Amino acid sequence: MPYCYEYPRPAVTVDVVAFTVRQNRLQVLLIRRGRAPFAGKWALPGGFVGMEESLEAAASRELTEETGVGDAYLEQLYTYGDLGRDPRGRVITVAYFALIPADAAVRAEGGDDAAQARWFPMDALPPLAFDHADIIAYALRRLRYKLEYTAVGFQLLPETFTLSELQRVYEIILGESLDKRNFRRRILQSGVIEATPHYRRGREGRPARLYRYKPDAVAEVKARRLFP
């Protein structure tokens, strides 16, 4: 005989803030909702968690459905449960943020309940459904914080990159210019990247050495904060 719960059970969803760097701007993936509530409005990719599904599996599934990317960096962000946040009833969402490399083969297309999917620059977001504007704002704050203390920024880069490309990603996310000499000194001293034997020809014709993230390096660099 199945157990009868004494208390009502709220619905649980996941929402994913998927970041990428494209066209020299930090961008986030949004879907145009095809169903009520907020039909026609833009929102984060997300959905209800299945009864036999973990939270992370649900978030990964939603991200794959909307982007085709199945192995992106994914991290739990925060839990949102304010009353009235969803007109369908008592809904608690566990938000995640994902980082999509610039060279990833991404297909932004709507899933089951999405009419359209599209990348939007962070400084040009449309009006959003639910409390998704607050979720995105918090995800950006978390990303900026982690960028200062960890090697998470490498998740937005191709497998190999120049130091100039790396600095530009940091500047885009932090929203500020960084001193070139100071940045290079700090990032090389952090011990999280290594030089490759390959070069890429720069704009002025001078070849620039390509680097890569050291997968066995300690990502946390709190003892050597990159940007005081």
Question: How many residues belong to the chain?
Answer: 228
Asked whether residue 5 is domain-assigned, the answer is no
Name 75's Cβ contacts closer than 8 Å, sequence gap at least 6. 96, 97, 98
**Which of 142-156, 159-173, 174-188 shows the lowest mean pLDDT across its residues?**
142-156
Tell me, what's the pLDDT at 3?
67
Q: What is the pTM of this model?
A: 0.88
Same domain, 121 and 141: yes
d(CA 89, CA 11): 8
Considering the chain, what percentage of its residues have pLDDT values greater than 90? 58
Same domain, 129 and 187: no
CATH code at position 170: 1.10.10.10
Structural contact between residues 36 and 116, judged by C-beta atoms closer than 8 angstroms: no
Q: What is the pLDDT of residues 102-154, one digit of tens each?
A: 877 777 665 666 668 889 999 999 999 999 999 999 999 999 998 877 888 88
Asked whether residue 2 is domain-assigned, the answer is no
Same domain, 34 and 124: yes
d(CA 73, CA 210): 22
CATH code at position 31: 3.90.79.10
Mean pLDDT value across residues 27-41: 91
Q: Which residue matches tokens 């701007």? A: 25
Of 50, 56, 42, residue with least CA distance to 114: 42
Asked whether residue 3 is domain-assigned, the answer is no
Structural contact between residues 191 and 225, judged by C-beta atoms closer than 8 angstroms: no
Q: Which amino acid does the sequence have at 105?
A: A
Same domain, 159 and 201: yes
Same domain, 125 and 175: no
DSSP class of residue 128?
B
Within 13 A of 101's CA, how many CA atoms are on the CB side? 15
Structural contact between residues 172 and 180, judged by C-beta atoms closer than 8 angstroms: no
Same domain, 15 and 110: yes
Same domain, 133 and 20: yes
Q: Which residue matches tokens 């500020």? A: 176
Of 87, 108, 94, residue with least CA distance to 39: 87
d(CA 166, CA 226): 13
Range of the domain at 54: 11-149
